[in-house]
């Protein structure tokens, strides 16, 4: 009888120990699983925060790029304003007291650049006047509020004319330049 009671107690204690160990294993497994889920969620949150930071940085870059594009627009001839530009050159010639003649005006692709946004507006002209007037006219062209690329410039003494018995040399300015224009 004592042996049966001891066996019963051992079986009951064994069953109780088994349930305690099983409960402990279940809790540990459950805690580890929750830990992995928390780690995964924190990693996702960190990734989202990084992406949000990159998005904010990209938005700032786009905003500043937009400002730069607006600033760059001031250095580019607008679409369809070629005639106005030629008139401006002619007005500068009158202001400079030189006689000018536009020899060529054409639109060309920018070499080495297959841009769909901009192209070159090439102008070739000649101007005749005194040395100081011709230089002043050239300076006005160089200082246009556009991106001006001077491709060729030449000065030739053209002739002399007299004013009050003083000979004033006349100079011929030949210039080829281009400005960037929007397509």
CA distance linking residue 25 with residue 156, whole number of Å: 101
CA distance linking residue 151 with residue 148, whole number of Å: 9
Domain boundaries, the chain: 1-73, 82-182
Name the CATH topology of 82-182: Alpha-Beta Plaits (3.30.70)
Run of H or E including 144: none
What is the predicted pLDDT for the residue at 164? 67
Tokens 């009888």 sit on residue: 1
178 within 8 A of 122, measured Cβ to Cβ? yes
CA distance linking residue 62 with residue 65, whole number of Å: 5
Average pLDDT along the chain, 183 residues, taken 10 residues at a time: 77 88 90 89 87 77 63 73 91 94 88 71 93 93 88 86 73 92 81
What is the predicted pLDDT for the residue at 90? 94
Where would I find the H helices in the chain? 2-73, 82-96, 131-142
CA distance linking residue 74 with residue 173, whole number of Å: 28
What is the predicted pLDDT for the residue at 74? 67
78 within 8 A of 117, measured Cβ to Cβ? no
Residue 63: CB atoms within 10 Å = 10
What is the predicted pLDDT for the residue at 154? 93
182 within 8 A of 78, measured Cβ to Cβ? yes
**Strands 148-163 and 118-129, bridge-based pairing:** unpaired
What is the predicted pLDDT for the residue at 102? 93
CA distance linking residue 152 with residue 154, whole number of Å: 7
How many residues are listed for the chain in this entry? 183
3-state SS assignment for residue 130: coil
What backbone phi and psi angles, to 5 degrees, belong to 125?
-145, 165
What is the predicted pLDDT for the residue at 105? 92
């Amino acid at each position: 009888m004592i042996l049966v009671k001891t066996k019963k107690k051992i079986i009951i204690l064994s069953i109780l120990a088994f349930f305690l160990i099983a409960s402990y294993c279940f809790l540990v497994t459950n805690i580890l699983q929750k830990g992995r889920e928390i780690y995964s969620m924190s990693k996702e949150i960190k990734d989202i925060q990084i992406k949000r930071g990159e998005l904010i940085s990209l938005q700032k870059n786009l905003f500043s790029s937009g400002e730069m594009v607006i600033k760059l627009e001031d250095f580019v001839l607008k679409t369809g304003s070629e005639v106005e530009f030629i008139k401006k050159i002619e007005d500068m010639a009158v202001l400079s007291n030189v006689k000018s003649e536009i020899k060529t005006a054409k639109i060309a692709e920018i070499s080495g650049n297959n841009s769909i946004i901009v192209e070159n507006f090439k102008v070739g002209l000649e101007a005749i006047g005194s040395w100081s007037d011709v230089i002043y006219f050239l300076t006005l062209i160089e200082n246009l509020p556009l991106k001006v690329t001077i491709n060729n410039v030449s000065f030739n003494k053209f002739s002399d004319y007299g004013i009050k018995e003083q000979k004033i040399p006349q100079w011929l300015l030949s210039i080829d330049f281009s400005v960037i224009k929007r397509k």
